[in-house]
Amino acid sequence: MFKKFDEKESISGVLQLKSSVQKGIRTKLIESYPYLENHIDNILPKKDALRIVKCHDHIEIIVNTAGDLLFFRHREGQWMPTLRLYHKYPFFLPMQQVDKGAIRFVLSGANIMCPGLTSPGAQMTTVPKDTIVAIMAEGKDHALAIGKTTLSTDDIAKVNKGIGVENCHYLNDGLWHMKPVK
């Protein structure tokens, strides 16, 4: 999604959000990520004026008054945290761990294949299909990608071929390198 993302060319506009829209987004985020409920006021303060950065390819990014990139989504889909936000609050997403051999592929934007999630060194948290997950790597402390499961973890283990997690945002992609939006 952000492989060829360039902030100068990809951003088409920035909109200030009405407080009612902000409230709706906060509610959706708490529904999607219940573990964030105690921290939502730190991430999205009620008095803060949130903005949405509209980008090409139907991508929207939530930005706070400091310009920090917080959440993004594609085509009215589910809001996903940026890796910078996830590194500050590394507890609110289920984790899928890939083995060491998959690290370089994930960091180049490849989707996570089922064998990379079922091999020795990999670990899976049980989740249903279409769940937003953090991709961890064997032997590493921080997430290297945010993705969306294409199959439930039970199906990933059974089928063991094809794409298991769609890679949406990874370290050193265009969104990672994007500067705060003022």
The model's confidence at residue 145, banded by pLDDT at 50, 70 and 90, is very high
Contacts of 120 by beta carbon, 8 Å cutoff, 6+ apart: 99
Condensed to tens digits (0 to 9), the pLDDT of residues 5-17 reads: 777 778 888 999 9
* pLDDT recorded at residue 3: 74
Condensed to tens digits (0 to 9), the pLDDT of residues 86-111 reads: 999 999 999 999 999 899 999 999 99
Instruction: Answer whether 145's CB lies under 8 Å from 106's CB.
Output: yes
Rounded CA-CA distance 154/158 in Å is 6
Our CA angle for 17, 20, 53, nearest 5°, is 20
pLDDT at 1 over 80: no
Least confident stretch, 87-96, 129-138, 158-167, 173-182 = 173-182
